Structure 1
Amino acid sequence: ALEQVRQRGFDPADVRHIVLTHLDFDHAGGLSDFPNAQVHVLQREIDAARQTHSLLGRNRYRHRQWEHVRHWHFYEPGGDTWFGFQTVQGLDGLPPEILLVPLTGHTHGHAGVAIDTGAGWLLHAGDAYFYRDEVGRTARHCTPGLKLYQRMMEVDRTARLANQHRLWT
């Protein structure tokens, strides 16, 4: 992310907010590159990440990736609903057009980030789906390797599949 920010002509110090879907190593890496940023995440996710006792938990969360974050903002669900999903609204320092949408299943505190663009809603649901043929289809298909990895990484299969279904109904 650091190099992407620089390639677009910005200084990393300009990054003021980072809204995370979850704290898996492939989503939280690089947080230390933005020491001035405020990091927003669901309370349940940081709790799960801090209390990792299982082999999966110890490998999924890399504390060293986020141990130097100084400006955390943790949230509990409880806002209005968004297309039938409970939300977190009023993210500290961010406009009301940005919401956290809990999507438990992949992790305990997994969330989507919904943004009202003015022309419609955009949802980033990082890891709610692992393969393009799972999205928007009645009969979902995932490659065998990704399917296995997805099942290994889920903490609540029933909730994950229910959220996938709800995202496209």
Structure 2
Amino acid sequence: MRVHHLNCGTFTSALMGRLVCHVLACETDTGIVLVDSGFGLADVADPTHRVGRYAKLTGARFRESETAVRRLETLGLDPSDVTHIVATHLDFDHIGGVADFPNATLHTTAAEHAASEGRSTFRERVRYRPAQLSPAPAVRTYSGPGESVLGFSGTHPIDELGGRIVLVPMPGHTRGHAAVAVDTGNRGWLLHAGDAFYHRSTVAAPGQVPPGTEGRALRVMEELIAVDRSKIRDNHRRLRELNNQAAPRVRVFSAHDPTLFDELAGERG
């Protein structure tokens, strides 16, 4: 499996610095699989209707060149070959590009799909934008006991993808948030942790990476928008352990950390 690391959205602010929307494009035998999709073409054309006013407060920058469609074209890949999109969660900065791939199936946890459909709290009305999933894509949801992968119980390997891409439920940021594990073969595992953490200092070995002003600001924001802060802290601990274990080798990264993105994007997929 060849994996490309794409930045499909940028945020900038004085306190938090530059943030990215880290999307994976996995070339598989069944087509191209995206993990998350960032902002899409329609978001760029009409951000207020599609994304809402909150995006402006976070410093979102809407650029057509950063959409997944354009990123794939730049790589010489055909966007019509995208057959599946595996979402860490359904926040507006993670699924805006879904509409650009009408033949793709969207995979998410049942809890996350229910939360986005119900939008029963103020947080959920801000973060979930119905316009981004209109027309409605084909959706497959996952729940139940699942399997054990990378020490996590209750995970859901996606059968259509040969079990090499796995939803790892990790609620806290949202009700149905998940990480997505990708088995790249002899290069080890990638774990796209979505918004289970924001800053690289969270999963680094103690004292290895200072959080700095940006990391501290991101931690405050993380706590403010989480639906369950205790689960966020438990996810931090589990991801830190996984990131620092010797074997199997797992590269843990979040959706928005620009340094982790730059490191991975600079490597050959």
Q: Provide the TM-score with structure 2 as the length reference.
A: 0.59
Partner amino acid for 1:24? D
- Offset at residue 85 of structure 1 (A): 1.2
In 2, the alpha carbon distance for the partners of 1:10 and 1:70 equals: 22
2:112/2:174 contact within 8 Å kept: yes
Q: CA RMSD in A?
A: 1.7
2:157/2:167 contact within 8 Å kept: no
**125-134 or 89-98: bigger deviation:** 89-98
In 2, the alpha carbon distance for the partners of 1:87 and 1:124 equals: 17
- Structure 2 residue 127 is the aligned partner of structure 1 residue 55: no
2:172/2:226 contact within 8 Å kept: yes
- Offset at residue 51 of structure 1 (A): 1.2
Q: Residue in 2 aligned with 1:150?
A: 222
**15-24 or 85-94: bigger deviation:** 85-94
1:143 aligned counterpart, secondary structure: helix
1:70-124 Cα distance to aligned partner (Å, 9 max, x none): 3111011422212331243342521111111011111111111111122222111
Q: Residue in 1 aligned with 2:239?
A: 167
Q: Provide the TM-score with structure 1 as the length reference.
A: 0.91
In 2, the alpha carbon distance for the partners of 1:90 and 1:124 equals: 14
- Structure 2 residue 91 is the aligned partner of structure 1 residue 24: yes
Structure 1 residues without counterparts, runs of 5 or longer:
none
Bigger strand fraction: 2
Equivalent pairs counted in the alignment come to: 169
1:87/1:99 contact within 8 Å kept: no
- Structure 2 residue 199 is the aligned partner of structure 1 residue 131: yes
In 2, the alpha carbon distance for the partners of 1:4 and 1:100 equals: 24
- Alignment equivalent of 1:88, drawn from 126, 141, 155: 155
Structure 2 residues without counterparts, runs of 5 or longer:
1-67, 242-269
- Give % identity: 41
1:113 aligned counterpart, secondary structure: strand
Q: Residue in 2 aligned with 1:114?
A: 181
- Structure 2 residue 171 is the aligned partner of structure 1 residue 99: no
**5-14 or 21-30: bigger deviation:** 5-14
- Offset at residue 63 of structure 1 (A): 1.1
Partner amino acid for 1:127? D
Q: Residue in 2 aligned with 1:67?
A: 134
In 1, the alpha carbon distance for the partners of 2:206 and 2:145 equals: 30
